[in-house]
Structure 1
């Protein structure tokens, strides 16, 4: 039995984006291990019941403490040595750096998933420039392992890295996001709500654009164009970009937003909405919330950041706005709020796009093929 080891920053992120692929690999005969930081017992119990072998670690996603990173690296290298995986599949920068170096040394097959290049590549300044150059140097070492493959969620990130790294002919692939189960996320035509509902979901980070939607709602309310802003997501306590809890409470108390916190019924929340909005400036992969929204048949509006343009096709299934062009965002939001028939048409187009490019069966098949190829 081949051993497949997923190495990822957090338990909830694996559950949301990778669980279907891990389960499909298990059904194909792989023994699946998960190395991640577990918060509590919810996910470790869930994954264990599914037959996965879990390995909790304490690697911090955003810490830049070099001593802590070295100590964590030694522990993870020893853990990988004990697991002896045939394939290491790492997601996000730190797991890619550590998993990739171990795979190079141990001559193991390795998959690096680039789910957006991240702040290391997007943020200006000396420190981030230093980290960027260091990351690129390690990526070059990793790619010298001929049994390695870098998987991107969209061509833009792939083209950016190819300017600095000489990948081999079979060492890159593009897989369009996480994919959704189109039998679970069924198309449902939106209801004509008296007050339209705009839905936002994601991590509570400033650069995800929630403050932009709060400002927009206030301004439109002044000219008697009203919508309810429903917000669900995860608070991030240890991130410099985190929206303070107190600000979320203030927006809630002022009725700027309907704050739901972390929810497990995103499908139902999308169904009840009229528009899904993500004016993010974060260097995204392909945002899952936009894929799910299109699958259900909701018009989307987003900034052209990272992989948003892979799922939002301007004037077809929503509006893709030049990043930080607030006036255009406002104009197009008004168009969507005032035109039910347009939203319905965009919803139908979005569903067709997801069926063609973003179904979970397609994404799973492409991922399993990569495992076969690098072995």
Structure 2
């Protein structure tokens, strides 16, 4: 039996973005293993009940300690040696580095998923410059394995890496985001709420743009332009970009937003909203929340960061604003708040784009095709 091993930083991230693909691969005859950091037992039990073989690890995704990286390498190499995978599919930088090196040494088939280049390629400073050079040097070793393929969520990231790495003709692919179940995220014409609801979902990180929306809401309220800000997502305690819990509480207490925490009913929260906003400056892949919002038929507004342009076609499915151009973001938000018919039209256009380009069936099919090609 062919063994497919997913290697990823976080259990919740695998559940959100990769579970459908893993299940489809299982249905195709692959024995699926998952190497990740589990927080609690919820996802561990869920994945195990689905027939996946889980391997909990303690890899610290944001640590750049070389000693820790060395010892992690030994542990991961030993684990992969025991699993004996036919294909290793790594997602995000550290799993790519470790999984890719093992695949090169052991001559295994390898898929690297670049879901946004991340802060290593976006952050300035001497330490990150060194780590960026180290990462690129390891990527070059990985790609010398002819049974390896780098999968990107949009062409922009692919073009950045191609400036430094000579990929083989069949060693890159672009798959547009994670894909969504278009039956679960079905089109629903928005309600005409007396006060429009702007919905934000994502990790509680400063560079995801929540503070920008707080500022925007306060300024528009002072001009007698109103919207309710509803926020869902998870706190990331050990990240230098994390929004402190006390600040989230302060915003709630001040009435700046309604904070819901982590939720499992995102489709209903989107359906109840009028606009979905993501003024992120983070080097994103294709943000899932924007795909889900478009699938349901909600106009989106976001900064032109990373793969946001893949799902937001400016003035068609929403407004795509030059990154950090706050004054233009404010103008475009006012346009959306005041024009129900424009939002409905954008929502219809967004739904059409998702069914054509971002459906789960399409994304799953393209991923399974890559597995077959590299084996």
TM-score by length of 2: 1.00
Between the aligned partners of 2:59 and 2:332, the Cα distance in structure 1 is 42
> Aligned partners of 1:265 and 1:175: how far apart in 2?
26
Equivalent residue runs for 1:337-348 within 5 Å: 337-348=337-348
C-alpha separation in 2, matches of 1:185 and 1:231: 19
Deviation at 1:67, TM superposition (A): 1.8
The 5 Å alignment of 1:213-232 reads 213-232=213-232
Distance in 2 between residues matched to 1:281 and 1:169, nearest whole Å: 32
Unmatched runs of 5 consecutive residues or more in structure 2: none
Q: What is the CA–CA distance in structure 1 between the aligned matches of 2:279 and 2:58, rounded to whole Å?
A: 32
CA separation in 2, counterparts of 1:156 and 1:295? 23
| Most deviating of 208-217 and 57-66 | 57-66
Q: What SS does structure 1 have at the residue aligned with 2:6?
A: strand
Aligned residue in 2 for 1:132: 132
Q: Which residue of 1 aligns with 2:314?
A: 314
After superposition, residues 49-198 of structure 1 pair within 5 angstroms as: 49-198=49-198
Question: CA–CA distance in 1 between the matches of 2:73 and 2:16?
Answer: 26
- Are 1:253 and 2:253 an aligned pair? yes
Alpha-carbon shift at residue 274 of structure 1 (Å): 0.1
Which portions of structure 1, spanning 4 or more consecutive aligned residues, are displaced by more than 2 angstroms? none
Task: Please state whether the residue corresponding to 2:333 is helix, strand or coil.
Answer: helix
CA displacement at 1:47 relative to structure 2: 0.1
Other-structure match for 1:11: 11
Cα distance between partner residues in 2 of 1:195 and 1:373 = 51
Give the whole-Å Cα distance in 1 for the aligned partners of 2:150 and 2:64: 24
Q: In 2, Cα distance between the equivalents of 1:157 and 1:69?
A: 25
Rounded to whole Å, the distance in 2 between the matches of 1:204 and 1:94 is 22
Residue aligned with 1:234, SS: coil
Report the secondary structure of 2:302's partner residue. strand
SS at match of 1:98: helix
Partner residue of 2:239?
Answer: 239
SS in 2 for 1:285: coil
Following the alignment from structure 1 to structure 2, what is the Cα–Cα distance between the partners of residues 118 and 369? Answer: 26
1:64 and 1:238 map into 2 onto residues whose CA distance is 13
1:362 maps onto 2:362 in alignment: yes
Aligned twin of 1:2:
2
Q: In structure 2, what is the Cα distance between the partners aligned to 1:104 and 1:71? A: 19
Alignment partners' CA distance in 2, 1:136 and 1:72: 19
What is the Cα deviation at residue 63 of structure 1?
1.1
**CA distance in 1 between partners of 2:137 and 2:68 (Å):** 21
Report the counterpart of residue 207 of structure 2 in structure 1.
207
Structure 2 SS opposite 1:300: strand
CA–CA distance in structure 2, aligned partners of residues 117 and 225 of structure 1: 37
TM-score normalized by the length of structure 1: 1.00
Shift of 1:21: 0.1
C-alpha displacement of 1:72: 1.4
Separation of aligned partners in 1, 2:223 and 2:208:
26
Comparing 22-31 with 64-73, greater Cα deviation is found at 64-73
1:129 and 1:236 map into 2 onto residues whose CA distance is: 24
The CA distance in 2 between the partners of 1:26 and 1:339, in whole Å, is 46
Number of matched residues? Answer: 375
